Amino acid sequence: MRTSKSGGEYNGAALYSFLLGLGHSEALVQKVLRDAGVDRIDPTRWYDINLAMDIYFAIYEKIGRGALIAVGKKMIETAPFPPGLDDAKSLLLGLDAAYRMNARAADIGSITCEFDDDHSATLVWTTLGPCPLNIGIMEGCCSRVGAPALVEHGAGGCMDEGGSSCTYLVSF
């Protein structure tokens, strides 16, 4: 797991919506939160970013890759977004800004997005969260505007396996 060394913070609202996305797994959420030393997540406050990542990775370990993708997708499909973000391209382009609204530290990484044409993009993530969650988030961005996407992990390494970044090839 990657960590922030600069003592960053993570928005409780983002973490809360992720836990809501888990839906049926209330017992699992409670166990993971207990293990992390917190009783509940308050959506109005900020948490230590490494604690938030601990929670993401603990849940990833318990529910597996496919389920985590589904949670990430559901989380984005139901999240409130600013007006104007109404197509897949603008949502994908806005991911870096959205990430920075929810995570604040000097070493949180970034999300870059380049469009190859009107229906495909290459995104490079150097963020702290688990890789399948990123895939779910991108799938959710596209599906919430009615453009179901195929998100493929590009060659060149994966952060969950020690790589410095994850490249995703998105076709929508």
Partner 1 sequence: MQAQSEWIERERTGLVAALAERLGRRSGSVFRSAGAAACEAIAARMVAALGADVTSGKDTAGREAMLALVQQFAGKLGYADLRHLTTTLRQLVLAAAADAEPAERQRVDDWLFQLVLVGSMRFVAQREEAFQEQAAQLEVRQLESQLEELKAAFAEKTRLLDVIRQASTPIAPVHEGILVVPLVGLFDAQRAQLLTDRLLHAIGEARASVVIVDISGVPLFDSDAAELIVRTSQAVRLLGAQMLLVGLSPGMAGTIVGLGFDLSSLKTLSSLQDGLAHALTLRKLRIAPVAGR
Query: Could you list the residues that contact partner 1 (CB under 8 A)?
Result: 116-117, 120, 122, 124, 150, 152, 154-156, 167-171
Smallest separation (angstroms) from partner 1 to the CB of 124: 7
In eight-state DSSP terms, residue 45 is S
CB of 96 to partner 1, least distance (A): 16
Minimum CB distance to partner 1, residue 122 (Å): 6
Chain-centroid distance of CA 129 in Å reads 6
* Cα(52)–Cα(46) distance, integer angstroms: 10
Q: How many residues does the chain have?
A: 172
Query: In sequence order, which residues have a C-beta less than 8 Å from that of residue 24 and are 6 or more positions away?
Result: none
For residues 39 and 117, which CB has a smaller minimum distance to partner 1 in the complex? 117
Residue 1 or 124 having the CB closest to partner 1: 124
Name which of 28 and 169 has its Cβ closer to partner 1.
169
Separation between Cα atoms, residue 35 and residue 111, nearest integer Å: 30
| Nearest distance in Å: CB 114, partner 1 | 8
